[in-house]
Structure 1
Amino acid sequence: MNHIRNFCIIAHIDHGKSTLADRLLEYTKTIQVTEGQMLDDMDLERERGITIKSHAIQMEYTYKGEKYILNLIDTPGHVDFSYEVSRSIAACEGALLVVDATQGVQAQTISNLYMAIDHNLEIIPVINKIDMPSAMPDEVEDEIIDLIGCDREDIIRASGKTGEGVEEILNAVVEKIPHPVGDEKAPLQALIFDSVFNSFRGIIAYFKIVNGSIKSGDHVKFFNTGMEYDADEIGVLKMDMIPRKELKTGDVGYIISGIKNSREVKVGDTITHVATPCDKAIEGFQEVKPMVFAGVYPIDPTDYENLRASLEKLQLNDASLTFMPESSVALGFGFRCGFLGLLHMEIIQERLDREFDMDVITTVPNVSYMCYTKQGEVKEVHNPSGLPDQTMIDHIEEPYIRASIITAADYIGPIMTLCLDKRGELLDQQYVSGNRIELHFMLPLGEIVIDFYDKLKSVSKGYASFDYHIDGFRPSKLAKLDILLNGEPVDALSTLTHQDNAVTFGRRMCEKLKELIPRQQFDIAIQAAIGAKIIARETVKQVRKDVTAKCYGGDVSRKRKLLEKQKRGKKRMKQIGNVEVPQKAFLAVLKLD
């Protein structure tokens, strides 16, 4: 045990975690690095250049003549995947805090650091990208010292591109990060921190042994679900899975026991022996709190069961996805999914398409509201169709968040304007160091859900970083905005919005739909309504044949007769015709502006 070190890499998005991980793997001769970001094995991760999943890998390193086993977990940096980070941190004793020498400390750096400190991890500060011409290592060192109060000598300067400082990092990991503590003689306790689905071998769970040991073939049970299995294969994670006969306290590895049903594996569960079980489960992680809700419906209603199976398999791989069945008038049966943010939602949609070949319609994302009726009942409302009648509602409360935005002082003006437009209120502002300032706002979560993050990035030229946590519910003047096509409400396009914004939002929505809905043989009226009051209207003009083309001259009544006949036909057509709303229209609502 004294020769095992478990550590993860935490940082803000784009600060070079995965590139630095490549250099560590190369230096310890674990793998031959043939292309960038070897651990990011999903196509989506490669295309977008972001880490979506945490990746665990084992390295061997010789230090002062002794061999050490280093278990590294590379984590994502984006705020939407912070649940991955919290799970990785629970399986480690130390963390490398990586800060970009050109950008300094940013919001996710701070929030991931606090998470690591809460778990009593040993922090090793690293300044990355010091080979860049725009690097400012001295200023960034000052920021890190302000943040964690370490000595200047403790900070390692490194470059993920050139490999500078990699040896110092590995030496610091061995020297400073404590080895795992546990009792090898005690009953087995192993914490599941991740799982993946393999279509041939069933569900593979990744775990870290806290106490005891496990041999292949042991009869084990999962503590919280109470299910029992045989450990068909156990082993350690390198680039592939390497089987082992036995794993002991402090080891990080995987178990394959032929589990086929995704409900039987819960991330955060404890594995123990059936014969000599442990007394209590390990304290797992906090339950995930979805921030954004959207309905996901199959385009073909017969694919409903396939969609359920796909979501269950995805949930194994990404425990922060939550879903439950729901139905809609317009779209039939589907699922109401909870995501951690808009990027997370986009990634899940992409993965459903690529990995499971599912075509889905996603409705407008929204948050959950508390609705108080005049009878004194409280109802949690997830989508606008669940609201009681307007006359029954006493008031509605919406969730608020406390946001912290770190930015350069030059962008304070535009950022404040953006937050105040989103009904935010400024709590305080403080200078972090030099030219950088931290702003705290109270903002309604519903305003942030759709396009806030993208706008923040564009008004600050990419320099503002954003982090938030939920801060309870507050009463608010909300209105349900319906979109009607030829007088029929379209369930999936209705939204809850603040009364002050409703008219402009309704107008913009009608204009956008007018561009996207193809012309038919009859006029299509697109209306936005609050209750019975129509607040905006656009018309998609009909496609008409020129029926008077054959008349040259002659009495006007002949032309009028032909036009009247055409008009009657159009009217009849309008009664039986229905309007197809293209998938583009559902997505366009998210990107209004």
Structure 2
Amino acid sequence: MKNIRNFSIIAHINHGKTTLSDCIIQICGGLNDIKKEKQILDSMDIEKKRGITIKAHTVNLKYKSKNGKIYKMNLIDTPGHVDFSYEVSKSLIACEGVLLLIDSTQGVKAQTISNYNKAIKMNLDIIIVFNKIDLPNANIKRVSKEVKDIIGISTKNVIYCSAKTGDGVINILESIIKNISQPKGKKNNPLQAIIIDSWYNNFLGITSIICIKNGYLKLKDKIIINNKKKYNIETLGLFTPKKKEKKKLNCGEVGWITYSEKKINNIKVGDIITSYLNPCKNLIIKCKKIKPQIYIGLYNLNSNKNEIFKNSLKKMKLNDNSFFYEPEVSLILGFGFRCGFLGLLHMEIIIERLEKEYNLNLIITSPNVIYKVYTINKKKIYIDNPCKLPKKNIIKKIKEPIAECKILIPKKYLGKIIKLCIKKRGILINTIYYNNKICLIYEIPISEIIINFNNKLKNISNGYASLNYNFKYYKTSNLVKIDILINNKRIDIISRIIHNNNLYNVCKKIITKLKTLIPRQQFDISIKAVVNSNIIFSNIIKQFKKNVISKCYGGDISRKKKLIQKQKIGKKKMEKIGNFFLPKKIFLKLIKINNN
């Protein structure tokens, strides 16, 4: 126990967490038995393609300190994007300390502050590390002042490093041994372990990553999860980072287990494992359950793969506890699922994984948040789908979720950022001035944040602005539902709930966009944006018209008139019975249309 250190690297996105993890693994000899490559802990193709960490990863290393002792290092690499903050929270449960990594060229960002506060709340030991000191634009003095002013902590014991070149990484490892506490559990106590991640294998069933808080776990031991079902440990071991089997996991270690569980719904992140023969009475606290921020309808275009689609969502839920899904039916697309995500990037990653890993052809509806609807019958309804919104005559009021946004920016971009927040219906709560930066605290509806808000922040600030937001409360708003009618047929998957102030502009943008996307047919197609049976904006996609008199080179004019009249009758009949096809690209492009 004295020679075990469990730690995580936390930082804002692109501050060098994974690069530092790779460097630590190389120094500790974790690459002797596997091919050396970049992004060792980023195992998914999507992570390597996008250059970001999506899932938390763990690795067990051995390091020989300058004092001659060999230490076991359990390193957990975590994501930096705000959409994956849940991955950070569950990883910190297995740690006694963290490395707070700060890019010495960019300084303190929004997620730096958020992650620091998480570590403080969990009473973890914190080591501050300034990374990228080898770059010519590194400014250690400025970043040190930002750490003092914004975070409010001393920089006397800061460690300077370059994860790219390896400079200073040995000092980090020595500081981990000196400044991060050993695990506090006891080997002789009854078994207490917490599941921090799980995934499904067709042959082995469920594999879980666990942290042993008390006691120990051996091969063939009988365990119970959450005092419910009994299991036998089939295999167990560590990641070095290669998967390595062992006969025993000791107190304080972070490793993996398999236990022949095939039913995916039985296992959740945060579940507690204890011994069947000697169960622990006082179970440790579970992971905090997190609620999705945005919801979409998700449909598979190949109905023959509906069972595969359903099972793929179950497996995704096992691997990502922040993901939510439930069945729903669309009048247009048929059977599908209502899915919840932490943000737009989280949604894009899940959909990309489903399509690549399970060979699915998926279509999505516009994102929505959860609204509170109060009816005249004194009922309170939670709505995550515009199609479920009651009729106007029974609605008393609608409340929308409001987020507290902390936007950290350089002073010169203040005016542009304020204009953007006003457009997004933001209310300024506080302004905190630092040496060369400003922290704007706004209350902004989550529906205004989830699509393109972060991208616009980055664009108008040349990438220097950073955002962190959390749900705060529900607020009464003047909201309406837009229905889109194509040839008087309601397309439920395009329905949206928006603020009344943006009504005309949004309707015009949707109809104009649809007109350019819907293929022309042999009959006119009318497109209308309707609110409570009132047409707000409409347009018509003109029909193709075949030249039916092209072969009539001469002859009586009545012959030509007869052919034209016959064509008109045929067109009217086609309008009544004709079907039109909406390509998948329509919905993928419409999702990017924001309220402005």
TM-score by length of 2: 0.97
Question: SS at the partner of 1:429?
Answer: strand
| CA–CA separation in structure 1 for the residues paired with 2:300 and 2:591 | 19
Partner of 1:76 in structure 2? 79
1:370 aligns with 2:372: yes
The percent identity for this pair of structures is 46
Partner of 1:325 in structure 2? 327
Residue 119 of structure 2 aligns with an amino acid whose one-letter code is: A
Partner of 1:48 in structure 2? 50
Residue 176 of structure 1 aligns with an amino acid whose one-letter code is: N
Alignment of 1:576-591 (within 5 A): 576-591=577-592
* Consecutive unaligned residues in structure 2, runs of 5 or more: none
1:407 aligns with 2:409: yes
| CA–CA separation in structure 1 for the residues paired with 2:466 and 2:10 | 16
- Confirm or deny: 8 A CA contact 1:60 1:69 kept in the other structure: yes
CA shift, 1:34, in A, is: 2.6
Partner of 1:474 in structure 2? 475
Partner of 1:566 in structure 2? 567
Residue 336 of structure 1 aligns with an amino acid whose one-letter code is: R
Partner of 2:108 in structure 1? 105
Partner of 2:538 in structure 1? 537
Encode CA deviations 1:43-70: one digit per residue, 9 max, x unaligned.
1011110000001001100111111000
- Confirm or deny: 8 A CA contact 2:11 2:111 kept in the other structure: yes
Counterpart selection for 1:94 from 94, 97, 115 = 97
- Confirm or deny: 8 A CA contact 1:451 1:590 kept in the other structure: no
- Confirm or deny: 8 A CA contact 1:125 1:156 kept in the other structure: yes
Residue 243 of structure 1 aligns with an amino acid whose one-letter code is: E
Partner of 1:120 in structure 2? 123
Residue 567 of structure 1 aligns with an amino acid whose one-letter code is: K
Encode CA deviations 1:263-318: one digit per residue, 9 max, x unaligned.
11111111111111000321011101100101111112343322111011111221
- Confirm or deny: 8 A CA contact 1:431 1:438 kept in the other structure: yes
Partner of 2:458 in structure 1? 457
| CA–CA separation in structure 2 for the residues paired with 1:449 and 1:554 | 65
| CA–CA separation in structure 2 for the residues paired with 1:210 and 1:223 | 15
| CA–CA separation in structure 2 for the residues paired with 1:554 and 1:38 | 80
Partner of 2:15 in structure 1? 15
| CA–CA separation in structure 1 for the residues paired with 2:558 and 2:252 | 94
Could you tell which deviates more after superposition, 555-564 or 94-103? 555-564
CA shift, 1:150, in A, is: 4.3
Partner of 1:4 in structure 2? 4
Deviating above 6 A after TM superposition, structure 1's stretches of 4 or more consecutive aligned residues are: none
Counterpart selection for 2:68 from 58, 62, 65 = 65
- Confirm or deny: 8 A CA contact 2:61 2:74 kept in the other structure: yes
Could you tell which deviates more after superposition, 490-499 or 408-417? 408-417
Residue 14 of structure 1 aligns with an amino acid whose one-letter code is: N
| CA–CA separation in structure 1 for the residues paired with 2:528 and 2:489 | 10
| CA–CA separation in structure 2 for the residues paired with 1:151 and 1:456 | 30
Residue 101 of structure 2 aligns with an amino acid whose one-letter code is: V
Alignment of 1:112-511 (within 5 A): 112-223=115-226, 226-432=228-434, 434-511=435-512
Question: SS at the partner of 1:53?
Answer: coil
| CA–CA separation in structure 2 for the residues paired with 1:317 and 1:133 | 41
Question: SS at the partner of 1:463?
Answer: coil
Question: SS at the partner of 1:319?
Answer: coil
Encode CA deviations 1:367-400: one digit per residue, 9 max, x unaligned.
0111111111111111111011111111111111
Residue 230 of structure 2 aligns with an amino acid whose one-letter code is: E
CA shift, 1:556, in A, is: 4.9
Residue 215 of structure 2 aligns with an amino acid whose one-letter code is: G
Residue 82 of structure 1 aligns with an amino acid whose one-letter code is: S
Encode CA deviations 1:156-215: one digit per residue, 9 max, x unaligned.
110111111100000000000000011211110001111122222111011111111111
Question: SS at the partner of 2:260?
Answer: strand
| CA–CA separation in structure 2 for the residues paired with 1:62 and 1:150 | 30
| CA–CA separation in structure 2 for the residues paired with 1:44 and 1:550 | 57
The count of corresponding residues between Structure 1 and Structure 2 is 591
CA shift, 1:562, in A, is: 2.1
CA shift, 1:422, in A, is: 1.1
| CA–CA separation in structure 2 for the residues paired with 1:149 and 1:445 | 29
* Consecutive unaligned residues in structure 1, runs of 5 or more: none
Encode CA deviations 1:107-129: one digit per residue, 9 max, x unaligned.
01110111111111100000001
Q: CA RMSD in A?
A: 1.4
| CA–CA separation in structure 1 for the residues paired with 2:415 and 2:591 | 25
Question: SS at the partner of 1:47?
Answer: helix
- Confirm or deny: 8 A CA contact 2:19 2:164 kept in the other structure: yes
| CA–CA separation in structure 1 for the residues paired with 2:479 and 2:184 | 53
- Confirm or deny: 8 A CA contact 2:432 2:438 kept in the other structure: yes
Residue 473 of structure 1 aligns with an amino acid whose one-letter code is: Y
Question: SS at the partner of 1:326?
Answer: strand
Encode CA deviations 1:537-565: one digit per residue, 9 max, x unaligned.
12222122111223446665443332221
TM-score by length of 1: 0.97
- Confirm or deny: 8 A CA contact 1:485 1:579 kept in the other structure: no
